[in-house]
């Protein structure tokens, strides 16, 4: 007979989603920092703007990663998780606004990239909402 291990850690799902968000965000930030000029040619914004965005994304990804890592102590601050969710929703809305208004002078590839990125960030926000709700159920 095989025994099944059942985990009662209600933060596991949220922790995994936060960690995935941190990796994707940090990776995106690294690319923007390391290859700002060629990425700018492809997407449209100038290299200086992409470096600034890259630095922000790298710092934000690190902060989200720390939150996910701290969750290993079995607790996640609802306020901190809520802040990540709010920032992700803000990023999604800001990205859509940037495409609609033409504020970033995106190429067609850039507009497609920004919308795809906004959709992924919205998915992270939704999954984080689900994960936060799971931490509150008994």
In the chain, domain spans: 12-136
One DSSP character per residue, 70-117 reads HGGGS---HHHHHHHHHHHHHHHHHHHHHHHHTTT---HHHHHHHHHH
Which pTM was predicted? Answer: 0.89
How does DSSP classify residue 2? -
**Structure token pair of residue 17:** 């989603």
DSSP H/E element including 55: helix 47-70
- Digitized pLDDT (tens) for each residue of the chain, 138 residues in all: 555 444 557 889 999 999 999 999 999 999 999 999 999 999 999 999 999 999 999 999 999 999 998 756 668 889 999 999 999 999 999 999 999 999 999 999 999 999 999 999 999 999 999 999 998 865
């Amino acid at each position: 007979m095989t025994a099944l291990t059942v985990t009662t850690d209600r933060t596991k799902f949220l922790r995994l989603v936060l960690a995935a968000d941190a990796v994707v965000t940090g990776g995106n930030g690294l690319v923007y920092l390391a290859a700002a000029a060629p990425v700018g040619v492809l997407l449209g914004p100038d290299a200086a703007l992409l470096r600034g965005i890259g630095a922000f994304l790298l710092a934000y990804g690190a902060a989200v990663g720390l939150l996910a890592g701290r969750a290993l102590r079995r607790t996640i601050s609802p306020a901190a998780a809520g802040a990540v969710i709010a920032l992700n929703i803000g990023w999604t809305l800001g990205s859509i606004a940037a495409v609609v208004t033409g504020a970033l002078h995106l190429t067609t590839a850039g507009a497609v990239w920004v919308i795809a990125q906004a959709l992924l960030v919205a998915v992270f926000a939704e999954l984080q909402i689900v994960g936060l709700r799971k931490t509150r159920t008994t």
